[in-house]
Structure 1
Amino acid sequence: MARGRAKGEWRKPGRRQGYRVLAPERHLIVCEGEKTEPLYFQGMRDALKPEFRNRIHIVVKGTGLHTVDLLDYALRESRLSGGYDHVWLAYDRDDFDLREFDSVVDKCAQSSDETTAFHPLWSNPCVEVWMLLHFGYTTAEMTSAEAISRVDVTFQRELNHPYSKTGVGLFKELQSRMHLAESNVERLTRWHEEQGINLPSRMNPCTTLPAITTMLTDYIGGSESNA
């Protein structure tokens, strides 16, 4: 587990307009991908409720880097900017080295301190697993190509259009199903643990994307469920 503030400690006690009072927070999200992930997180940033947009500052950067190189980039960006409260690394398993993929979790913990918490947002085999879990639960191991194909089929069936890795509005389109996806990830993580599997590189399919969605859920505008 990363050092630094635990989840919830960044919210000051008290209430305002029915919401918990929020201390100003700076979030940096660095993504391995240069298209899908940045578009998704930009949608998350845009979905912040108006009353919180001057309290939560989210910067999204697509890099084209991966695993350890992505963390090195995040560390440089954090230092150059004067620091962030939370730094999130979004990266996929794909075909990258297993040991490097697994090492980022520990390196994030080692890089965290009392001022900045580094969070690994890994997906195995790819971020499309997170999208797929918005529509149902599965433990079936898959390649990145298979995950993308399954998401495309699901989008055409459930949303009446094909999946596009450069589609605008992806976060908004999936938002009403996010709680289902979070629940499915929790269930899937338990399933892997019951099989004695706890290395990210072996947890196929799985993802840690709910780490950021659950942290920010109170501050994101609602959407009527169509699930």
Structure 2
Amino acid sequence: MTQSRTKREWRTPGRRQGYRVLAPERHLIVCEGEKTEPFYFKGMRDALKPEFRNRIHIVVKGTGLHTVDLFDYALRESRLSGGYDHVWLAYDRDDFDLREFDSVVGKCAQSSDETTAFHALWSNPCFEVWMLLHFGYTTAEMTSAEALAKTDAAFRRELNRPYSKTAGGLFGEIQSRLHMAEENVDRLRTWHESQGAYSPSAMNPGTTIPEITRKLSEYIGDIKRRV
């Protein structure tokens, strides 16, 4: 490889002996939370099939930062590293300013270019909405406390254990239900739009976590999807 070749050329898939050669990908996931979300995404990273683990590189960081501050952190980390293909921001609505919560989507779009794509993985009101949608569909508006209580009830009913925000192994435990959660998110977004709600802050409950699960699905083992 000569120095004149660009980063994008280096990452372009090619073919070798009739097979597609997977281009290396680097993913940075920055989370508002310092435990629940990082544990979940680290579980996703650990679920990568062995043949992809040297090609798909995932860095997960829990920051304790929120909305715009989280975006500024992600932008700074991306620039300092000099090479992430995808930067994912996982953050909640909770009680933060509506305009700031909504603005992160636009900031991600504006900062994306041909080398790095920024993605807003928002959840309204909180990450537990994503957990809850693994067990069923609902359009009921809820607070973070209500989402947590409903998720705990679903875990006790379906998995025979309480939900814990600090438990490891969360991704693997509900991985078989991933297709259901994704479909419920799609259905929920369609419902919100039918009600005239288009901004993230207006979509309660709602989330965009499926953007990353679908992006990485072909590299993760044992995900059962409907055809």
Q: Above 0.5 in TM-score?
A: yes
Shift of 1:12: 3.1
Distance 1:161 1:143 in 2: 22
Please, what TM-score do these two structures have when normalized by structure 1?
Answer: 0.91
Counterpart for residue 3 of structure 2: none
Instruction: Return the TM-score normalized by structure 2.
Output: 0.91
SS in 1 for 2:148: helix
C-alpha separation in 2, matches of 1:172 and 1:200: 28
Aligned partner of 2:203 in structure 1 is 203
User: Using the alignment, how far apart are the partners of 2:191 and 2:110 within structure 1?
Assistant: 27
What percent identity do the matched residue pairs reach? Answer: 78
Equivalent position amino acid for 1:179 in 2: H
Q: C-alpha offsets along residues 179-207 of structure 1, whole Å, 9 cap, x if unaligned?
A: 00000000000000011100100100000
Change (3 A) 1:131 1:30: same
Structure 2: which 5+ runs fail to align? 1-10
Q: Report whether the alignment pairs 1:33 with 2:36.
A: no
Q: Which runs of 5+ in 1 are unaligned?
A: 1-9
Equivalent residue runs for 1:2-151 within 5 Å: 12=13, 21-151=21-151
Cα distance, 1:223 vs structure 2:
5.3
Deviations, residues 36-81 of structure 1 (Å, cap 9, x unaligned): 0000000000000000001100000000000000010001111111
The amino acid across from 1:76 in the alignment is R
Name the CA shift for 1:209/1:16 in 2 (closer, same or farther; >3 Å): farther
Taking the aligned partners of 1:21 and 1:164, their CA distance within structure 2 comes to 40
Task: Give SS of 1:58's match.
Answer: strand
* Alpha carbons 1:11, 1:20 under 8 Å: kept: no
**What do residues 76-120 of structure 1 show as CA deviations (whole Å, max 9, x unaligned)?**
111111120000000000000000000000000011111000000
Please tell me the residue identity of whatever aligns with 2:103: S
Q: Does the 8 Å contact 2:137/2:184 carry over to 1?
A: yes
Partners of 1:142 and 1:91 lie apart in 2 by 17
Q: Kindly tell me: are residues 151 and 83 of structure 1, through their superposed partners in 2, closer, same or farther at Cα, counting changes over 3 Å?
A: same
Shift of 1:221: 1.0
Partner of 1:187 in structure 2? Answer: 187
Residue number in structure 2 paired with 1:178: 178
Aligned with 2:27: secondary structure?
Answer: strand
Partner letter of residue 128 of structure 1?
A: E
Match of residue 3 from structure 1: none
- Cα distance between partner residues in 2 of 1:164 and 1:127: 12
Contact persistence 1:128–1:147 (CA under 8 A): yes
The one-letter amino acid of 2:152's match is D
Say which SS state the counterpart of residue 28 (structure 1) adopts: strand
2:5 matched residue in structure 1: none
Tell me the C-alpha RMSD between the 2 structures.
1.8
Whole-angstrom CA distance in 2 between matches of 1:16 and 1:216: 25
